[in-house]
C-alpha cells in the first residue's frame, strides 16, 4: 500500500476543512479526487506531502508513519519519507531566471547532490519524454503555459518519486494546451507510479482513474470506480455536481 490515511482532520481557525478523512491508496493506483470548490481536495494533497500540518489522525507512506496523532517522526526520517513523493502544482513554480533544463537539474544537484553530467542526462531524457527536447534552453517566459507545466512535471519525475500528486495541473492553462499536459500524465499510467490527481477534467478522470474520490464539505462522500461514480444517479449530490460538466 502506498498511502494509508486514518481519521485526518484539518482546520484553519474555526473553519473545518478536512473532517475525519480515511482512505487507502494501493501501490501503482491512480486515484482522482473530484468535488466542488472548497471541499478540501487541495488541502488533502497538501497534508499528504507535509505542506500543511494535520491537526489529528494518522498518515503512513509505504508503511512508514509520516504523522501519527501528532507524534511525528524525526526531521531526517520525515525527509526520507517525503523523498518518495512529488507534487505538481496549479502554478508551475519554475525559476524564471533558469532555462527549462536548468529548472529540471537544479533540485537534483542542490538537494540530491547528483553530479551535474548525470543530472543533465536525466533531464534530457525526461524533457524529451514530455515533448520538449527542442525547448531545453528556453526560459519560462518564452514557453506556453502547457510547456511550462510539462517542464514542471519533468522536474518532479527527475527525482524518481514513487507517488505523484497533481493539484489541478491544468486549471491555469488555456483550452488548447490542456490536452498536451493531460497526454503526458496519461503516459505515466503504466509506470507503476502511484498518482493522486485533483482535477475538474471529467473526461480525463474517467479515462485515467482506477478509482474516483468525491469530496464535499471536507468529507469523502464516495470512493468507487469511475463507472460507478459517473453513473451515481442514486446519489443526488454527486449527480448535481456532474451535471455541471
Query: Is-contact 15 55, C-beta < 8 A?
Result: no
Distance CA 11, CA 20 (A): 11
The CATH architecture of the domain made up of 26-46+84-242 is 3-Layer(aba) Sandwich (3.40)
C-alpha cell at 51: 505542506
pLDDT of 120 over the 90 cut? yes
pLDDT tens-place string over residues 181-238: 999 999 998 899 999 999 999 999 999 999 999 999 999 999 999 999 998 766 888 9
Half-sphere exposure of 99 (CA within 13 A, CB side): 13
User: Across 35-107, where does the E strand assignment appear?
Assistant: 56-61, 64-68, 85-88
Where are the domains positioned within the chain? 26-46+84-242
Global pTM?
A: 0.92
Higher pLDDT, 66 or 157: 157
Cβ burial, residue 97 (10 Å; 0-12/13-18/19+): exposed
pLDDT of residue 172: 83
Helix, strand or coil for residue 23?
strand
Higher pLDDT, 130 or 236: 130
Opening angle at CA 126, ends 167 and 89, nearest 5 = 15
Distance CA 116, CA 112 (A): 11
pLDDT tens-place string over residues 58-97: 999 998 888 776 566 777 888 888 999 999 998 888 999 9
pLDDT of residue 236: 86
Distance CA 87, CA 156 (A): 7
pLDDT of residue 72: 67
Instruction: Please give the average per-residue pLDDT across 9-35, as a whole number.
Output: 96
Distance CA 241, CA 243 (A): 5
DSSP-assigned letter for residue 72: P
Positive or negative, the CA dihedral 44, 34, 190, 93 is: negative
Distance CA 148, CA 176 (A): 14
Amino acid at each position: 500500500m502506498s498511502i494509508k490515511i486514518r481519521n485526518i482532520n484539518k482546520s484553519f481557525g474555526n473553519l473545518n476543512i478536512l473532517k475525519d478523512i480515511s482512505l487507502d491508496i494501493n501501490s501503482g493506483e491512480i486515484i482522482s479526487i473530484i468535488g466542488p470548490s472548497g471541499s478540501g481536495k487541495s488541502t488533502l494533497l497538501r497534508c499528504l506531502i507535509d505542506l500543511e500540518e494535520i491537526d489529528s489522525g494518522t498518515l503512513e507512506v509505504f508503511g512508514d508513519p509520516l504523522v501519527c496523532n501528532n507524534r511525528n517522526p524525526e526531521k531526517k526520517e520525515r525527509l526520507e519519507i517525503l523523498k518518495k513523493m512529488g507534487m505538481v502544482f496549479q502554478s508551475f513554480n519554475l525559476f524564471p531566471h533558469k532555462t527549462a533544463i536548468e529548472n529540471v537539474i537544479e533540485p537534483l544537484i542542490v538537494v540530491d547532490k547528483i553530479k551535474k553530467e548525470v543530472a543533465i542526462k536525466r533531464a534530457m531524457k525526461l524533457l524529451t519524454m514530455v515533448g520538449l527536447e527542442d525547448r531545453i534552453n528556453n526560459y519560462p517566459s518564452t514557453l506556453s503555459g502547457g510547456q511550462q507545466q510539462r517542464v514542471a512535471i519533468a522536474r518532479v519525475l527527475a527525482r524518481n518519486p514513487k507517488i505523484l500528486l497533481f493539484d489541478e495541473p491544468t486549471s491555469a492553462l488555456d483550452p488548447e494546451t490542456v490536452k498536451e499536459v493531460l497526454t503526458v500524465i496519461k503516459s505515466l499510467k503504466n509506470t507503476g507510479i502511484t498518482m493522486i490527481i485533483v482535477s475538474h477534467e471529467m473526461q480525463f478522470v474517467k479515462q485515467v482513474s482506477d478509482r474516483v474520490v468525491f469530496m464535499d464539505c471536507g468529507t469523502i462522500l464516495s470512493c468507487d470506480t469511475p463507472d460507478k461514480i459517473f453513473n451515481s444517479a442514486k446519489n443526488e449530490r454527486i449527480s448535481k455536481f456532474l451535471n455541471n460538466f
